[in-house]
Amino acid sequence: MQSVAVDVDVDDESGRAIVLGYTCEKNCKPEGQLWLLEDGEQVWQTSIGLHPLLLLRPYAVRWSPARYFVVASGDLEGAGTAFLIRAYAPFEPEPLWTFSRKSLGNFNLALTLAIGAYGEVYAGGYAANSFPAFAIIYG
């Protein structure tokens, strides 16, 4: 079993760090993971789902001023490909909300995140027809 961290963000208010990554076996089918750290110690971990391909793994995590964190990835196993954004509260394994966008017959993937001062989510990624995917999700 291998564990891979792909992104990390620190909450300005609490000083907590959220680490995003995945675990997988020899023939890697990544299982997305979140690890919450306080003072360098892990205080919480949860799976955020199995992804069918390494390419669709989680890519980015950012803290929101709303006191939760937001994750960008491809879709989960059995769902095809989608531009997937999910929000999680600390110590809660289920998402608070989910934004998913699919263009049928096209490859879709969320890669990047930024969070605005009022909690709005800016997400970018891969889309079809030579255009990048971009979404603004208001909180």
Domains with residue ranges and CATH for the chain? 2-137 (2.130.10.10)
pLDDT at 130 over 80: no
Q: Is 107 exposed, middle or buried (0-12, 13-18, 19+ CB in 10 A)?
A: middle
- pTM confidence score: 0.92
pLDDT at residue 123, rounded to an integer: 96
Q: Is the dihedral of CA 100, 119, 73, 42 positive or negative?
A: negative
pLDDT at 83 over 80: yes
d(CA 25, CA 39): 30
Residue percentage of the chain with pLDDT more than 70: 95
Model confidence pLDDT, tens digit, residues 98-109: 998 877 667 788
Which residue in 46, 48, 60, 4 sits closest to 28, CA to CA?
4
Question: How large is the average pLDDT for residues 68-94?
Answer: 88
**pLDDT-based confidence at 81, cuts 50/70/90?**
low
Q: State whether residue 84 is helix, strand or coil.
A: strand
